[in-house]
Amino acid sequence: MKFPLIAVSTSVTVDKYPERAYVNASYLNAVQQAGGVPVPMPPHLSPAARAELFKHVHGVLLTGGGDVDPARFGETPHPTTTEVSTARDTLEIELTRWAVEKRLPLLAVCRGLQVLNVALGGSLYQDIPSEPGSPLDHSQAGLQGKARHIPTHQVKVRDGSRLAGILGALEVDVNSFHHQAIKRLGQGLADVAWAPDSIVEGVELGEPDQFVVGVQWHPEELVGNDRAAFNLFAALANRARELS
């Protein structure tokens, strides 16, 4: 069996010394459980190093993390905006557009979904509690940021969508760690899953033969006991394997 190389975006420390690039091990484990080889791609790579990696990877995983800079979609920052990294935004938007152009499979998780949306010309709600406003806790504050594998709300998925086919379900229980969310959809994206408060929880590129899927929750934390979560990474790896 071939083991496709999956580019995995990394988080970065902001205004801390020493500066670090890092990624939660759950992403790396999920990719490997699905039969892929994770290749961390930090924003500190030179253009030449990026170009070389681009030649060899077969798929892309955009991970969670800090906020996307509101300037990327023409807005000033909300008071709650945090951990903005210009270097990370730049790399991930470039990586997204490259993957879409080259028709490489792409899975976007949490912040990754937001990056995907902005890279394709969409915009974001900067802070769900204040805009659009919702009583639903999308940050699992009641669990104090712990127990990341515990689902806290349900998501409904559009019947007939690629995402529904991958998950094997039209309703899933999800974990949730975000305060930004999709406002205006990026070009070519379709919203295909929603939280009970109508916040978009899943998107996919409209072209049926191109694998570009984004989810607002964190399936990497659920793969050990949630088949639907595992299916997302398996679908990415299987599509990437076709290109390896």
pLDDT at 143: 59
Catalytic-role residue among 110, 153, 178, 204: 110
Mean pLDDT across 23-34 = 98
Mean pLDDT across 76-105 = 97
Tally of domains in the chain: 1
Percent of the chain at pLDDT exceeding 90:
87
**Model confidence at 145: pLDDT above 80:** no
DSSP 24-65: -HHHHHHHHHTT-EEEEE-TTS-HHHHHHHHHH--EEEE---
Domain containing 66 equals 5-241
Mean pLDDT across 147-157 = 90
Mean pLDDT across 83-106 = 97
**Minimum mean pLDDT range among 76-85, 136-145, 194-203:** 136-145
State the CATH number of the domain containing residue 217.
Answer: 3.40.50.880
Check if 220 is active-site. Answer: yes
pLDDT at 141: 65
**Minimum mean pLDDT range among 33-37, 153-157, 171-175, 208-212:** 208-212
DSSP 83-143: ---HHHHHHHHHHHHHHHHHT--EEEETHHHHHHHHHTT--EESBTTTBT--SS-TT-GGG
pLDDT at 2: 87
pLDDT at 140: 77
**Model confidence at 144: pLDDT above 60:** no
Percent of the chain at pLDDT exceeding 70:
97
Which residue reads 């959809």 in tokens?
185
> pTM of the entire structure?
0.96
Check if 178 is active-site. Answer: no
The rounded distance, in Å, linking the Cα atoms of 81 and 86 is 13
Band (pLDDT 50/70/90 cuts) for residue 55 is: very high
pLDDT at 23: 97
Mean pLDDT across 221-228 = 95
pLDDT at 112: 98
Check if 218 is active-site. Answer: yes
